[in-house]
Structure 1
Amino acid sequence: MKRLFGSMCCLAASTAFAQDDVKQPQLIKKSTFHASVTLGYGGIENPVLDADDVISPILPSLAYYGDSWYFDDFSIGYSLFESEKFYIDLLGRFNDDGFFFELDGVDKLFATGVVRSSSGRPTIPSASPINLTPIERNLSYMAGFSSALNIYDDIWLSAAYVHDITNVHNGYEILFNGYQAFTLFSGIAGIEAGINYKNEELIDYYYTVSPTESKTRLLSYNLESATNYYLKVSYEYPISDNFSVDFKLKHTWLDSNLANSHMINKNGYFSGFTGITYHF
């Protein structure tokens, strides 16, 4: 159940039509619940070495925007100031790095798979008992402020600062993105580009391999703060009042220092979902 819940949470947070970290007031009518479920195919690549990708045939979504507060899947917020062109919110959201570990059940992921020995000789005598600590990282919840500015028609620029409030790593993130929605072939298309800065405390907690987690001697490698970039495209084509065809695809480019660390095996990862959506 935890794995299924986590999969839905992670997919919804990463592939929702609205922006990941800020609300889209021009797309959602206030004081009404918006619920939908998409049947199709999608998931998230897991950039952690030897960890499983997350694949699912279903993607649920639930949102509500009131006069002052809102939730959009697993993000929650409270409006401090709002006009048609600008708003400032209190914001809460999950940290996405934690999902890479929670979803895989990484009690099976040891640094024997994470860290490959570059030499042919063992670094620990074979007669010695090997008691490795499983690589486990906790999911954290972040809270802070977000704001957005409508610069032209359906083009929005946004920024957010969120800090760990669950005492997992006590790190923070700073996010900037731009979003535009437009009509295309009788449907609604969206394109979003963003930058996500993660400070050193956050990166160090999730991606540092400790000596007790590794069977091989780790080469010296200092993790620093990381700046990731992403591009997301989406398209929704209405079939009827309750059904639509949906496509969402996002690619995240990892910071080069993070991509070359002991825990990561790729420079970026994809997430997305496509299928038929029923709107309740």
Structure 2
Amino acid sequence: MKSSFFGFLLSVLLLSPGVVMAQCDDTTDCIEKGSWDLGIAFGYGQRTNPIKDFDDIPIYVLPTIAYYGERWFFDNGAIGYTLTEQESFTVNLITGFSSDRAFFYRWDPSNIFLAGSSHSFQQTPFVESKRPVKTESQNIGELESRHFTYLGGIEAYVYNRFGTWRLALLHDLLNVHQGSEGQIKWNYHWGHKELSVDFAVFFDWKSQEIVNYYYGVRPSESAYWHEHYRTENGWNRGLELTARYSLTPAWELLMTARYTQLADTIAQSPLLDEDYSYAYLIGAAYRF
């Protein structure tokens, strides 16, 4: 099994639930079987927060830690097992963090991986929890906790000359919301000398249970909106772009960005004041 070193930028900054895999070739840095990969990216960036009155999420440092064995692997909090690896496709059992909770808690592991277990599970919102969130004609009071959970399921990567496809379906393992989510993603890699560019289009499906748990309104938050806002399953969709320029075998300049158009059922939530979110980081990365 091999993995792209800078896959962590897309799996952490861009908050995908699974590991970002890549077909290894002469233009891609890879982790060989039985090897650890340690690195750190730093610079300036942020992820915008569509939740009303909640701060945007700053991004300054992104660590990476990964290990790939013959079958088992660990990649930035995701634990997986390779069922089959062929020249044109790979199938894994995979686990990963839920990304939706990251809007509500600054120290959610999806925002800053390896922030420390004492921070990762703290119920610390971006703003004072008693600050009301304004709607058109109703107030929403103190928000209840949106708890941490871990997702698990299956993913497949299909490789061809037109790019890489990722197909994944994951379910709540900790029985927090009992929901499922899936992804269809196409990634195209282009490289020339020291410059490497990846472009991706993705569609992320969220079940009604996930949408209701994170973006629905509980009775204690607003009796009015609890009765009038109804959730359903929906598709987020968006674009990703990552550019890297190699300075030395260990150092690279990088720019990575993601735009997400939220599903209509999420955008209609009275907790939100935007129907989109974008994230970016401009800086450098070092591989140990």
In the alignment, is the contact (CA less than 8 A) between 1:245 and 1:275 conserved in 2?
yes
Deviations 1:61-84 (A, max 9, x none): 122222212222122211001112
Match of 2:66 among 53, 63, 83: 63
Q: Which residue of 1 aligns with 2:115?
A: none
Q: Which residue of 2 aligns with 1:262?
A: 270
In the alignment, is the contact (CA less than 8 A) between 1:92 and 1:142 conserved in 2?
yes
Q: Which residue of 2 aligns with 1:228?
A: 236
Q: Which residue of 2 aligns with 1:144?
A: 153
In the alignment, is the contact (CA less than 8 A) between 1:170 and 1:201 conserved in 2?
yes
Partners of 1:80 and 1:33 in 2: CA distance: 21
The correspondence of residues 44-193 of structure 1 with structure 2, limited to 5 A, is 44-103=47-106, 105-106=124-125, 108-110=128-130, 112-113=132-133, 115-118=134-137, 133-152=142-161, 155-184=163-192, 186-193=194-201
Q: Which residue of 1 aligns with 2:40?
A: 37
In the alignment, is the contact (CA less than 8 A) between 1:79 and 1:89 conserved in 2?
yes
Partners of 1:173 and 1:58 in 2: CA distance: 28
Larger-gyration structure (1/2): 1
The TM-score, its normalising length taken from structure 2, stands at: 0.81
In the alignment, is the contact (CA less than 8 A) between 2:41 and 2:284 conserved in 1?
yes
Per the alignment, do residues 221 and 17 of structure 1 end up closer, same or farther by CA in structure 2, a change over 3 Å counting?
closer
Partners of 1:22 and 1:139 in 2: CA distance: 22
1:212 counterpart SS class: coil
Per the alignment, do residues 274 and 181 of structure 1 end up closer, same or farther by CA in structure 2, a change over 3 Å counting?
same
Q: Which residue of 1 aligns with 2:112?
A: none
Per the alignment, do residues 17 and 172 of structure 1 end up closer, same or farther by CA in structure 2, a change over 3 Å counting?
closer
Unpaired runs of 5+ residues, structure 1, are 1-9, 124-131
Partners of 2:178 and 2:20 in 1: CA distance: 22
Per the alignment, do residues 18 and 229 of structure 1 end up closer, same or farther by CA in structure 2, a change over 3 Å counting?
closer
1:102 counterpart SS class: coil
In the alignment, is the contact (CA less than 8 A) between 2:17 and 2:99 conserved in 1?
no
Q: How many residues align?
A: 257
Unpaired runs of 5+ residues, structure 2, are 1-7, 108-123
Pairwise CA RMSD: 2.6
Partners of 1:242 and 1:200 in 2: CA distance: 44
The TM-score, its normalising length taken from structure 1, stands at: 0.83
Per the alignment, do residues 16 and 267 of structure 1 end up closer, same or farther by CA in structure 2, a change over 3 Å counting?
closer
Partners of 1:20 and 1:170 in 2: CA distance: 18
**Deviation at 1:257?**
2.3
Amino acid at match of 1:274: I
